[in-house]
Structure 1
Amino acid sequence: MIFLVAFFVWFALKEGRRNDDLKGAGAPIVEKRETGDGKVMVWPDLVHTEFICLILWTIFLIVWSIFLKAPIEEPANPAKTPNPSKAPWYFLGLQEMLVYYDPWIAGVLLPGLIIIGLCAIPYIDKNPKGNGYFTWRERKAEISIFLFGFVVLWVWLIIIGTFLRGPNQNFFGPFEAWDPHKLVPLINVDLSQIIWVKTLGTALPKNPLIRECFGLALVAAYFFALPPLLAKTWLKGHFEKLGPARFHIMVFLGLTMLSLPIKMMLRWTLNMHYVVTIPEIFFNI
């Protein structure tokens, strides 16, 4: 499936570039050359094609299941827990996020925002260009956001969880043996510890609001101060095209997407565990 994802991404971009060149030269795009008016009727054309593909793939899967043994392991043994214990491959992205976020964020908040974001796409993106034909030039921003969210933040996390997470949930290189006795001396620190202890050389304040004021200010600036700034600078054109409501929803979802690779980089470079940690109320970001 990884190869299929790579192939279809390449194919769509190739066809989009081809159509862009044709439109730039004043020639009809590929879809209009094939159908005349650029339209394909759902019935009977599309339904017949999908039905034939359904039959062929069903036959293929039946034959495959007959000759290929399913990788079923021994019955579950409560006295022997597999190491590593992993979720099914389609949930490995969520399991990988648990390395960087608390369960309420990785298992509830972010998946919920993914569903909400997918539902909001038709209401945020009303650009009619690119409907029914491949293009890149007319949908650069939309295609880039989709590829970042799907390929980078979902497929890549599944690849990491499948091939690079070994025993004890340690990170292993592509050609590194999965040694269950590997010791990783990581000392995770929080942002408050970096600022108060390492930078200012003082003890952590006992008041959680004072202790986490830097992290709270950083999170507030990221989600509340950055969108208006983007609306007046880099994304001014999108703000004028979408309007305030749709623009701020789009930017909020985009910043939430970016928070995952940012958190991953902070963990990999600074061993930072939490930006905000208030264990008194079980609140950690």
Structure 2
Amino acid sequence: MADSETPEVIDPKTDKVHTWPHLVRAEFICGLLIFIGLFVWSLLLDAPLEEPADPTKTPNPSKAPWYFLGLQEMLVYFDPWMAGVVLPSLIIVGLMLIPYIDINPKGNGYYTWKERKFAIANFCFGFLVLWVSLIIVGVFLRGPGWNFFAPWQEWDPHKVVALTNIDLNIFLADLTGLDFLRNTAIWAVFGLGLIGAYYFSAVIYWKLKSKKSKFLQELGPVRFGITAFLFLTMMALPIKMILRWTFNIKYVVALPWINMNI
């Protein structure tokens, strides 16, 4: 067989394709399917215009635009300064820091899960599981009085939910019988220590894993510290949500002297 007739051997690991038409065609089809889904949904779901705004009549529930409902839902679990200022600021700062703390060059120009498990899993959990789910809850499951309604329940404006939210120290005092935990000043020390221990777990992880992990050695202590702080702060949201849902915990620690509750 002549050299000109020798079939070309293509390595699937290094082979590349052009953006057009391969990528653009797939993105166009995905966009078209989403458009069809939204179009059908708009035909099935009534969304009539309401009456003109009346300053003497407050709607119940009063909801922010859908893209802010994640923040409004977080107000159920955190104080306004935390849900409306600190957490959104950390989200913005965290997104800005990604190019500086992400040292993994793999995945540039191609899609891969195997080589970027931590980054992709973090994004999917933070955006889809947390942020998008909070918006869905705020749009579809929060009714009058900002009460929780299942999809099959009618939004009854007269529904009264008898919930007694308590701080973590009161819960632990009732559970253990240690009445000194009811003291706000004493619990402030314990509570802040508990939060400090939560973040200090990153230091322990670094001490245990850094010498054995090549990835952590390349990441370095500064980038690891920033990543761990943002990750633990993100995980604090579902932890606080679970505490509220299961034990009606309102605050982990309350600092009434400076009007700050966590």
Q: Same fold (TM over 0.5)?
A: yes
Does the alignment pair 1:97 with 2:80? Answer: no
Give how far 1:71 is off: 4.4
Q: Deviations over 1:200-219 (max 9, x none)?
A: 352632xx431322211110
Q: 1:88 aligns with which of 49, 54, 65?
A: 65
Contact 2:255/2:261 (CA < 8 Å) preserved in 1?
yes
Contact 1:192/1:214 (CA < 8 Å) preserved in 2?
no
Q: 1:34 aligns with which of 12, 17, 21?
A: 17
Q: Deviations over 1:68-125 (max 9, x none)?
A: 9974322111221111110000000000000000000000000000000000000010
Does the alignment pair 1:213 with 2:196? Answer: no
Q: 1:136 aligns with which of 104, 109, 113?
A: 113
Provide the rounded CA distance (Å) in 2 between the counterparts of 1:72 and 1:126: 49
Provide the rounded CA distance (Å) in 1 between the counterparts of 2:152 and 2:146: 16
Provide the rounded CA distance (Å) in 1 between the counterparts of 2:114 and 2:166: 44
Contact 1:136/1:143 (CA < 8 Å) preserved in 2?
yes
Contact 2:187/2:253 (CA < 8 Å) preserved in 1?
no
Provide the rounded CA distance (Å) in 2 between the counterparts of 1:183 and 1:72: 28
Provide the rounded CA distance (Å) in 2 between the counterparts of 1:164 and 1:234: 42
Q: Which amino acid aligns with 1:119?
A: M
Give how far 1:33 is off: 4.3
Q: 2:202 aligns with which of 194, 212, 227?
A: 227
Contact 1:83/1:168 (CA < 8 Å) preserved in 2?
yes
Partner of 1:175: 152
Larger helix share, 1 or 2: 1
Check 1:201–1:126 CA distance in 2 against 1; reply closer, same or farther (3 A cut).
closer
Long gaps (5+) in structure 1:
1-25
Partner of 2:259: 282
Q: Which amino acid aligns with 2:192?
A: L
Check 1:125–1:71 CA distance in 2 against 1; reply closer, same or farther (3 A cut).
farther
Q: Which amino acid aligns with 1:212?
A: A
Provide the rounded CA distance (Å) in 2 between the counterparts of 1:242 and 1:234: 12
Provide the rounded CA distance (Å) in 2 between the counterparts of 1:142 and 1:202: 44
Q: Which amino acid aligns with 1:259?
A: A
Contact 1:166/1:172 (CA < 8 Å) preserved in 2?
yes
Partner of 1:244: 221
Q: What TM-score comes out, normalization by structure 2 length?
A: 0.81
Give how far 1:190 is off: 0.3
Provide the rounded CA distance (Å) in 2 between the counterparts of 1:164 and 1:247: 38
> Which SS does the other structure have where 1:272 is aligned?
coil
Does the alignment pair 1:189 with 2:179? Answer: no
Check 1:244–1:90 CA distance in 2 against 1; reply closer, same or farther (3 A cut).
same
Contact 2:70/2:132 (CA < 8 Å) preserved in 1?
yes
Provide the rounded CA distance (Å) in 2 between the counterparts of 1:230 and 1:268: 29
Partner of 1:113: 90
Partner of 1:156: 133
Q: Deviations over 1:183-231 (max 9, x none)?
A: 11111010121233442352632xx4313222111101112x2111121
Provide the rounded CA distance (Å) in 2 between the counterparts of 1:234 and 1:169: 44
How many residues are matched? 235
Partner of 1:14: none
Provide the rounded CA distance (Å) in 2 between the counterparts of 1:247 and 1:193: 35
Percent of pairs with identical residues: 56
